[in-house]
Homo-oligomer: A and B are copies of this chain.
Amino acid sequence: MTASCELCTSDGGEVLWRDALCRVVLPDDPLKQTGTCRVIVERHVKELSDLAPADLAALMQVVVRVERALIAVLKPVKINVASLGNQVPHVHWHVVPRWTTDRSFPDPIWAPAKREGVVPSIAREALVEALRKHL
């Protein structure tokens, strides 16, 4: 636990699932992309290589479950997965559903927008409920 780290001191969004290793959240901030979830390690570790192999394997199986939940609920054409942590160096995965009509497809979601994106419309409460059911 690091007092200055926002992922140590807050959940970082609405918790969809959690165990001793990590939590799955739907961020509170306006999303660049509908359905983007984060999988956040509970301990403060900076790099993937700071995790024991068994913990990293277990973490990736949570990422896989989030991926499958997003595919089931939102039917994206692709899932993007990234661990960046340049701003908050506490390991967390972004799990991002993509559609060919979204703002920057096929570029990464962080690239400049190519168009006004069209993505599935779903109320946040319904999304939370559906993802929880699949996790």
Q: Which residues of A contact B (CB under 8 A)?
A: 46-49, 53, 56-57, 60-61, 63-64, 67-68, 71, 78-87, 89, 98, 105-108, 110-112
Contact = CB atoms under 8 A, between A and B. Distances in A.
Given A48-B67, A49-B68, A107-B110, A82 B84 contact: yes
A45 B132 CA distance: 26
30 contacts: A46-B78, A47-B67, A47-B79, A48-B60, A48-B67, A48-B79, A49-B64, A49-B68, A49-B71, A53-B57, A53-B64, A56-B61, A78-B85, A78-B86, A78-B89, A80-B85, A80-B86, A81-B83, A82-B82, A82-B83, A82-B108, A84-B108, A86-B106, A86-B107, A87-B106, A107-B110, A110-B110, A110-B111, A111-B111, A112-B112
A46 B77 CA distance: 10
B81 A105 contact: no
Contacts of A111: 110-111
Contacts of A79: 47-49
A4 to B, nearest CB: 15
A84 B89 contact: no
Q: What are the 4 A-B residue pairs with the smallest beta carbon separation, nearest first?
A: A57-B57, A86-B106, A82-B82, A108-B110
